[in-house]
């Protein structure tokens, strides 16, 4: 795998990971097993086609057995065995799990929650990125490890810590408070600017000095949204700075080894603004777990994978973790159905992953993750899971020529912005249970049902080349983004903005004069008032072409200021008022959707926009057959993932060979199967 990224460009360096195909493997935790199992593992890895493993993620306590006392002997043996079996090593800095001796000697390194309760020993992460003591110990460990393995031929990639921010997100302790004050002071310079940005006149919370600023610890009512938004930004920066400290140290010792850390791009949560991390890693790596109770979990996976590629600016990325079957942290943890793990893995590849890795290689028999699946399950290699793992390894070899091919530039873009996510969750809204992720994900799914090549990108990315740009729930927006969208539409682009977009400015203050303040002029509308609906309540809207669509959760009173109505509400209190609008902007159009359409209506509406924007689908196929395209130097590779329980007919309009079977493609994809279709490059 050849790595090209903003970070490596800055260094003027191209890194290459071993092997000429897709990387395949998983987290390997040999410290849970005896040395005879290590040998069996290496043989089984070869059998499964594994060519890389991630080692040492939680090994600090086994590598630094007491303060300043290091033991690499066991790891040397493991690395040696792996190398002898042709398996490369992604070596983790073990800082995710501080050893017992360190936590006991320095309890002040641990995060403190909003109620003042410090994190105790027994878990992992939990340390404060603002603790100078932790930083000192962590960097000493990293330096020892890097010096020890510098130049080792098995060392392919550095994996800094693990999911930084996962279990050490917000910290309200003394070190964090001091760091937050310094961060706020550096941002605002004088306390008047801070008071003005946060609007501290509200409840008379004016600060007279930066020393009065504290993290948002438990208070009996809601905190100031401006403060919460900045605390999110500060937390992200503090976590990122920890990554950068480890990365920079690694670079000085092993300049030829690329560095990454595993992101957690999936629906829900998020203390990290990964748009700010993407350019700091040499290659983007992501962990993704499906939620078993979600019947449309493959659609959430597609959205997350496209978001991950967006963070990588379209470059191939690494799927660092997913699960071979069930996880152990969802209450009821469904095992994956036969073929599901393969579809999941290939869906990530279809959307730009050049590496498919799992947590973890061998299922633990001890510890907190005993019931989390592994590539080798408790049942051993004679098992359904291991057979599918081995079959997947063979499939990845058969499709290896897709490595390096970039996912074709999207015809549509969905904008996704973490700053908006934070701002959205920082305040009490007219409907607090509206999820930030629902709208972008639903729109992405609707575009996918129409087989539109879609990118999920940060609002700062270049919009040129897209026919349709969707701005869903982009709650926080500045004038610069509004101007760029207006210029994009003016030059012939088509924009769809949804409810709860452009409401607040970058400080979190509502833009007055009617919603959506930032986008009113672009859209030619003005929203007077929000009309959220109660759970279970619905309304209907009727389109100008006579279709009747159901809406729920959210409606608005929209006034036309230049736009025309494409659909109107049918009943009180908004009877006859516009629900969906369209505005002409130069050579293009700007549309506004003021209500939550039900999935069927959303599919119809997006279908109309796709047609209007002149977008051609990647293939003709049923909605639940996922189609994507990666473009190589001479060929295109169309992935067709059949999520149906029946065979599907897929027309790609060209002669194709299915790399999975090696046979000429006859236009049919079996129930639950995946085809990877190699076609001559399709010139648009």
The CA distance from 149 to 313, in Å, is: 31
The CA distance from 368 to 379, in Å, is: 18
- Closer CB to ligand GAL, 289 or 531, in the complex: 289
- Closer CB to ligand GAL, 41 or 175, in the complex: 41
Handedness of CA 63, 65, 66, 70 (dihedral sign): negative
CB 250 within 8 A of CB 258: no
Least distance from ligand GAL to the Cβ atom of residue 96, Å: 8
Least distance from ligand GAL to the Cβ atom of residue 404, Å: 27
- Closer CB to ligand GAL, 291 or 560, in the complex: 291
Least distance from ligand GAL to the Cβ atom of residue 324, Å: 11
- Closer CB to ligand GAL, 25 or 578, in the complex: 25
Least distance from ligand GAL to the Cβ atom of residue 680, Å: 41
The H helix count followed by the E strand count for the chain is: 18, 32
Q: Find the residue with minimal CB distance to ligand GAL.
A: 359
Residues contacting residue 3 through CB under 8 Å, at least 6 positions apart: 14, 15, 16, 17, 258, 282, 283, 315
Quickly count: other Cβ atoms within 10 Å of residue 48's Cβ: 23
Q: How distant, in Å, are the alpha carbons of 35, 93, 118, 147, 229 from that of 366?
A: 16, 23, 26, 31, 40
Please give the residue ranges that form the binding site for ligand GAL (CB under 6 A): 162-163, 166, 287, 289, 321, 327, 359, 369, 372
The CA distance from 447 to 615, in Å, is: 11
Helices (H), 189-291: 191-198, 225-253, 274-277
Our answer to whether residue 645 is catalytic in this structure is no
Least distance from ligand GAL to the Cβ atom of residue 26, Å: 10
- Closer CB to ligand GAL, 124 or 643, in the complex: 124
Q: How distant, in Å, are the alpha carbons of 32, 305, 452, 454 from that of 621?
A: 47, 21, 11, 16
DSSP label of 376: B
SS3 254: coil
Q: Catalytic pick from 163, 299, 300, 556?
A: 163
DSSP label of 4: -
Least distance from ligand GAL to the Cβ atom of residue 271, Å: 14
Our answer to whether residue 647 is catalytic in this structure is no
- Closer CB to ligand GAL, 202 or 371, in the complex: 371
Q: Catalytic pick from 64, 246, 299, 321?
A: 321
Least distance from ligand GAL to the Cβ atom of residue 368, Å: 8
Q: Give the phi and the psi of residue 571 in degrees, each rounded to 5.
A: -135, 165
Quickly count: other Cβ atoms within 10 Å of residue 528's Cβ: 12
- Closer CB to ligand GAL, 261 or 395, in the complex: 261
Point out the residues that are catalytic.
163, 321
């Amino acid at each position: 795998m050849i790595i090209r990224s903003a970070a490596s460009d800055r260094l003027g360096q191209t890194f290459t990971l071993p092997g000429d195909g897709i990387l395949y493997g998983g987290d390997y935790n040999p410290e849970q097993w005896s040395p005879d199992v290590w040998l069996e593992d290496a043989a089984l890895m070869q059998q499964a086609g594994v060519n890389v493993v991630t080692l040492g993620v939680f090994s600090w306590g086994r590598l630094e057995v007491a303060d300043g006392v290091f033991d690499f002997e066991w790891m040397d043996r493991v690395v040696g065995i792996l190398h002898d079996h042709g398996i490369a090593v992604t070596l983790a800095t073990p800082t995710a799990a501080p050893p017992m001796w360190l936590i006991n000697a320095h309890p002040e390194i641990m995060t403190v929650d909003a109620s003042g309760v410090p994190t105790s020993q027994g878990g992992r992460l939990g340390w404060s990125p603002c603790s100078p003591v932790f930083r000192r110990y962590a960097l000493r460990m990293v330096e020892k490890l890097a010096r020890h393995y510098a130049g080792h031929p098995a060392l392919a990639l550095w994996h800094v810590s693990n999911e930084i921010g996962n279990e050490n997100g917000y910290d309200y302790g003394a070190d964090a408070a001091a760091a937050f004050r310094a961060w706020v002071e550096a941002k605002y310079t004088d306390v008047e600017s801070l008071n003005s940005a946060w609007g501290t006149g509200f409840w008379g919370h004016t600060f007279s000095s930066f020393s009065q600023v504290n993290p948002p610890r438990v208070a009996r009512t809601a905190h100031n949204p401006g403060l919460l938004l900045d605390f999110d930004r500060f937390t992200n920066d503090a976590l990122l700075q920890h990554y950068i400290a480890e990365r920079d140290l690694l670079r000085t010792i092993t300049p030829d080894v690329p560095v990454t850390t595993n992101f957690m791009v999936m629906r829900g949560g998020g203390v990290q603004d990964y748009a700010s991390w993407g350019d700091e890693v040499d290659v983007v790596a992501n962990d993704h777990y499906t939620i078993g109770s979600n019947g449309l979990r493959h659609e959430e996976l597609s959205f997350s994978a496209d978001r991950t590629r967006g963070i990588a600016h379209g470059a191939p990325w690494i799927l660092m973790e997913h699960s071979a079957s069930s996880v152990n942290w969802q209450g009821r943890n469904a095992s994956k159905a036969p073929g599901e793990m393969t579809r999941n893995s290939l869906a990530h590849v279809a959307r730009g992953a050049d590496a498919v890795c799992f947590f973890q290689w061998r299922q633990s028999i001890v510890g907190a993750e005993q019931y989390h699946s592994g590539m080798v399950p408790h049942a051993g290699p004679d098992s359904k899971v291991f057979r599918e793992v081995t079959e997947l390894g063979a499939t990845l070899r058969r499709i290896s020529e897709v490595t390096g091919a970039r996912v074709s530039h999207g015809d549509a873009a969905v904008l996704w912005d973490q700053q908006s996510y934070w701002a959205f969750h920082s305040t009490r809204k007219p409907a607090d249970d509206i999820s930030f992720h629902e709208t972008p994900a639903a729109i992405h799914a609707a575009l996918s049902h129409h087989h539109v090549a879609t990118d999920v990108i940060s609002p700062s990315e270049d919009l040129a080349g897209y026919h349709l740009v969707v701005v869903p729930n982009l709650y926080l927006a500045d004038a610069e983004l509004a101007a760029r969208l207006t210029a994009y539409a003016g030059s012939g682009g088509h924009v769809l903005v949804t409810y709860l977009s452009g409401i607040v400015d970058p400080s979190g203050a509502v833009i007055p004069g009617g919603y959506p303040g930032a986008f009113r002029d672009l859209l030619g509308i003005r929203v007077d008032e929000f009309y959220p609906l109660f759970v279970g309540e619905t309304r209907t809207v009727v389109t100008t072409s006579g279709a009747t669509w159901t809406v729920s959760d959210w409606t608005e009173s929209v006034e036309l200021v230049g736009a025309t109505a494409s659909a109107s509400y049918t009943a009180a209190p908004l009877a006859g008022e516009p629900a969906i609008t369209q505005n002409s902007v130069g050579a293009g159009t700007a549309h506004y959707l003021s209500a939550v359409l039900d999935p069927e209506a959303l599919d119809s509406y997006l279908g109309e926009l796709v047609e209007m924007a002149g977008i051609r689908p990647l293939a003709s196929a049923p909605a639940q057959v996922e189609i994507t395209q990666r473009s190589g130097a001479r060929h295109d590779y169309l992935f067709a993932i059949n999520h149906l329980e029946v065979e599907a007919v897929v027309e790609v309009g060209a002669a194709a060979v299915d790399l999975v079977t090696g046979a000429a493609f006859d236009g049919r994809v079996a129930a639950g199967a995946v085809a990877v279709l190699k076609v001559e490059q399709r010139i648009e």
